[in-house]
Structure 1
């Protein structure tokens, strides 16, 4: 198991984005705790196997259609 902080940056003001993050994490079997969140940045701590954290990063980059993710920066939590 690994724990990392993802700083997701972009146009993230869509109302359901944080709910989408937590729901997607649950679907792939990891946990996600939202920290700071505003219209252009969300800080989320994710816990799970390294391969699933990679999958979560890719999902965030693709994101739901109503957001535009410019970058995901990862660091150990």
Structure 2
């Protein structure tokens, strides 16, 4: 079943690293992705694909990349 979600990852964000990481993970999980706003405190990402793979994307981005610290995630069904 296809699911769409918008995530706001909050914490210490290095935008270039986070965007590269998120794009790579989405590609590996066969998800459609759209990068939104990003600054030093938050990054917004919208993804669409198989529901369990959307969940896997959320988990992966909560753990990396190495130079970002994710403190909180807001998930909204899109």
TM over 0.5: yes
The residue aligned with 2:57 is 56
Gaps of 5+ in 2: none
CA root-mean-square deviation: 1.1
Given the superposition, is the C-alpha separation of residues 37 and 55 from structure 1 closer, same or farther in structure 2, using an over 3 Å criterion?
same
Q: Partner of 1:45 in structure 2? A: 46
User: Quick check: 2:18–2:68 contact (8 Å CA) kept in 1?
Assistant: yes
Shift of residue 73, structure 1, vs aligned partner: 1.1
CA contact (8 A) 1:25 1:31 kept: yes
Q: Shift of residue 15 of structure 1? A: 3.2
1:27-74, Cα deviation, whole Å (9 max, x unpaired): 111121111111110111100111001101110111111110111111
Contact kept, 8 Å, 2:15 with 2:38, in 1: the verdict is: no
Gaps of 5+ in 1: none
1:1-77 equivalent positions in 2, closer than 5 A: 1-13=2-14, 15-77=16-78
TM-score by length of 2: 0.91
